Structure 1
Amino acid sequence: MDWYVWLIVAIVAALVVFLAVIIGRALAFRPKKEETYPDFPVHCDEKKAISDLAEMVRCKTVSDTDESKEDEKEFEKFEKLLAKLFPNVYRVCEFQKLSKRSLLFRWKGKDSSVSRVLMAHYDVVSVEQSLWQKSAFEGIEENGVLWGRGTLDTKGTLNGVMQAAEQLIKEGFVPQNDVYLAFSGNEETNGYGAPTIVKYFKEKGIRPALVCDEGGAVVDKVFPGVSAPCALIGIAEKGLCNIRFSVEGKGGHASAPPPHTAVGKLSKACAAVENHPFPARLSKPAEELFDMLGRRSTFLYRMIFANLGLFRGALDAICKKSGGELNALMRTTVAFTQMSGSKGMNVLPPYAEMVANLRIMCGESVEDCVKYLKKIVADDEIRTEVVYGMNPSNVSETQGEAWNMMKKAVSQTWKEALVAPYLMLACSDSRHYSEISDHVYRFSAMALSKEERASIHGNDERILLEKIVRTVEFYLRLLYQF
């Protein structure tokens, strides 16, 4: 037999073995046995939960980077409202106002050697009322829906925490360990509310065994090939960096322009960065997400996730092309959000700048990002300045008591949902708690549609009344374990 025949046979045999290995791994990549939890019925005062949240919405606690623009009376109104709505919490819990925007309750347990924290923020972002169907601050209840800024982000969460605590205290329940209810009033502006509380915990030597803040939710159709709803619990969050690119020009009349104006040079830099995304990186949260949900995906996707070492390039290509949440799970993202040049339409800009918002991947830093961008831009005339930056948070554990508590409460509340860890793409106050705890979890206790998620920081923010009740039920189940 000629040598080339042997070569063809060897190649075919190698391909058969290769395909057999890939298919075999995909067939073996099946869901792991999950712990099942018994039913744990809970009940709450549904009318109170709904009406209390409506009252909270009526407090226009809009935060601003310039505090002088905030309406202090609205924040004071909100604090007085809490005392009125939750008298048992104020009666039993030790309350401290650590700063103007830092509210902390300590619910003393039978054993104070262990403590856990439930978080939320009560400030909200501003609204453009003309773009809303209903008033953003009237707490309008209509057709099974409560309308208003903060219903989802995150007065709805705060309401759930306080309703559950109020009810359990009224029933005579005493937690096994200390529970802290920690609320900040300037999360939306990256303010000092939460850092002040964390500083207090540090001074007291308190290292929480569990911290629960806003983050993931119960969502549909967010993972390829998975039809079941997924309850995503953030175990880390990406870093944030705003970078200003600037360049000086000679100015002058636009009738005799140079080959490249200041705006043109920035545009070239912008295109270069967008055409050269940051390299893909498989972080621990993403790896665990792919392992958990990839096993429940269709066979084609199972082939990819079971053989990521071979198909990482294909997955990377899919992410680059599609953009969105899947792409953001795989790399540091860059979004150019602002650009300015000349004030006159017929005047060459003597100075131009643009700003990019980066969400930094776990394992990378602000410094790493600046170096990469300078390399891609490759233009010494363009200055690069970090306006604001913070590195990614630490990654929390997905084994042990704290994670199991979260998973149990979620599974008992949304029985049909697949619980999985994930990387939170946005930023929250919880990142500060990574300094004092390895068990920081980010979960907004709601089932949210794509449309509802889009209303957060957008127009027509609203929540179904049944979801308000479900949020309270989640916190009841979680607190019963404390």
Structure 2
Amino acid sequence: MPWFIWLPLSLLAAFLLVILLRAAMFTPPRQQRVSTEAIELDEDRLVLSLQAMVRIPTISYAEEGRANQAQFDAFQDLLKQRYPLVFARCHFERVGKNGLLFHMPGKSSTAPSVLMAHYDVVPVDAHLWTHPPFEGLIVEGELWGRGTLDTKCTLMGILEATEALLNKGFVPKNDLYLSFGGDEECLGADAAAIVATLRSRGIRPAFVLDEGGAIVNRIFPGVTKPAALIGIAEKGNVFADITAKGKSGHASAPPAKQAVGVLSRALVRLDKRPFPFMLTKPALELFDTLGRHSTFLYKIIFANLWCFAPLLNVICKSSGGELNALVRTTVAQTRLSASDAYNVLPNEAKAGLNLRLIPGDSKAKAQKRLEHIINDPAVAVSIEKGSEPSSISPTEGAAWERLQGAIRATYPEAIVSPYLMVAASDSRHFCAISDHVYRFSGLPLTRAQLNMIHSQDERIPIALLPDLVRFFMRVMAGC
């Protein structure tokens, strides 16, 4: 056989051998079994606590002054009634407008921890709900109501765990703070005020835990086990406007170039040219962790991203959704406005965009890229407001091990994995004072339940509540 035939064939065979060997060796590390003690709880009490919280409609609005402050005051009064030991043993203060900050002194103050939740909820269209959103009804084992998943359940879990531990004489190893915001759904000024308060006192938390990932099934190609996804970073959240100017006048004699047409062409360009594919640390660690539990075909891809990253880009781009959001800055076209009348030409047409920035991107870079893609001097791009991507927290060390241990003790069947949180939370503010900020809600949730968040018919199976509380008790025991 001539060399110009056998040499390419040999190289191809060597390439395939390397690919297959790497896939065969791409196996999960051996995990030691976590020993746990049984934790008995008054399960009826947990349901009653969450019911009482849901029945107070703490709705936050983007418009200043629209929220009903009496409901937020009533919610705080409810907490005092249900958690007397928390208020007796912790120093409590109201920070900002409705931020609640509890400080439980520990045996040391060198490595404090913060557990977070928010108790405001998004508005509802009550007529779309099967059951009323603020009555806390239990139907076929599920507690219905706005906030049952986002995130009054988390707040209940933290406070029930704290009350139960204090009843046993618990004193944490290090200072423990509980931080509850009342405006997370409106960019989180309460959380920012709490961070400013802690910073002014020289407090730098060694561990922060907020809402975020859940325990989910079949979220990753080729993986059948449930995955406990811990957000080690979150994307930036930016609002942008693109505006095309026109000449107003009567619609009977339209000009050759109309503002709506110019704007439409700009939107089509944005739709056809997504932001570039980027494999950040959270995505790489997710693929490495869950990929080791996938089928052999997918192991070939995830064990060899040096070769198959372009293929992964195609898969993510074509599938869209959260998988695509893990690997690029996304642009959602959310608002449109032009003329108010059929027979009047608008003097401008405007579109509103919501960009979610991947770590490594920035508001300034995103604006330049939008302008580059649109490439039309007749279209103006402006960034209205928003947040940069958060810093990335480590996946080794005491803080990570504590969180991973609490998850494995409570949900032993779950694969614990880092991931990039594509939504925004109050935790981003804490990145200014802590290098160890994690986002995990402590619940197993189905795809249908995840889709209920911010939608109608939000509800939670009451069978999930005891393990939620046990999870937070185990987290606190390591603080």
Q: If the TM-score is normalised by the length of the shorter chain, which range does it land in?
A: over 0.9
The one-character-per-residue Cα deviations of 1:421-467 (angstroms, maximum 9, x if unpaired) are: 10000000000111111111100111111111011001100000011
The one-character-per-residue Cα deviations of 1:154-213 (angstroms, maximum 9, x if unpaired) are: 110000000000011111111111110111100100131001110111111111111010
Alignment of 1:252 onto 2:253? no
Q: Percent identity?
A: 47
2:225 aligns with: 228
Alignment of 1:453 onto 2:450? yes
SS in 2 for 1:227: coil
1:16 aligns with: 13
Q: Which amino acid aligns with 2:181?
A: S
Give the superposition deviation at 1:109.
Answer: 1.1
Residue from 349, 366, 369 that aligns with 1:369: 366
Alignment of 1:325 onto 2:322? yes
Alignment of 1:191 onto 2:188? yes
Q: Which amino acid aligns with 1:158?
A: L
SS in 1 for 2:238: strand
1:211 aligns with: 208
Which sits farther off after the overlay, 253-262 or 100-109? 253-262
The one-character-per-residue Cα deviations of 1:330-369 (angstroms, maximum 9, x if unpaired) are: 0000000001111112332221100110000001100000
Q: Which amino acid aligns with 1:152?
A: L
Alignment of 1:43 onto 2:40? yes
The one-character-per-residue Cα deviations of 1:6-35 (angstroms, maximum 9, x if unpaired) are: 312222111111111111111111112234
Q: Could you list the runs of 4 or more consecutive aligned residues of structure 1 that deviate by over 4 angstroms after TM superposition?
A: none
Give the superposition deviation at 1:38.
Answer: 1.2
The one-character-per-residue Cα deviations of 1:226-270 (angstroms, maximum 9, x if unpaired) are: 010000000000001111000111233334333432111111111
Residue from 130, 138, 143 that aligns with 1:141: 138
Q: Which amino acid aligns with 2:413?
A: E
Give the superposition deviation at 1:478.
Answer: 1.1
1:163 aligns with: 160
- How far apart, in 1, do the equivalents of 2:338 and 2:203 lie? 50
- How far apart, in 2, do the equivalents of 1:6 and 1:446 lie? 60
1:399 aligns with: 396
- How far apart, in 2, do the equivalents of 1:141 and 1:182 lie? 28
Q: Which amino acid aligns with 1:393?
A: S
1:119 aligns with: 116
SS in 2 for 1:68: coil
User: Mapping of 1:282-293 within 5 angstroms?
Assistant: 282-293=279-290
1:310 aligns with: 307
1:480 aligns with: 477
Alignment of 1:241 onto 2:233? no
- How far apart, in 2, do the equivalents of 1:44 and 1:260 lie? 69
Mark the runs of 5 or more structure 2 residues left unpaired by the alignment.
none
User: Mapping of 1:53-68 within 5 angstroms?
Assistant: 53-68=50-65
- How far apart, in 2, do the equivalents of 1:434 and 1:360 lie? 16
RMSD over aligned CA atoms reads 1.1
- How far apart, in 2, do the equivalents of 1:260 and 1:317 lie? 36
Q: Which amino acid aligns with 2:195?
A: V
- How far apart, in 1, do the equivalents of 2:142 and 2:424 lie? 27
Give the superposition deviation at 1:99.
Answer: 2.3
Mark the runs of 5 or more structure 1 residues left unpaired by the alignment.
none
Residue from 434, 447, 451 that aligns with 2:431: 434
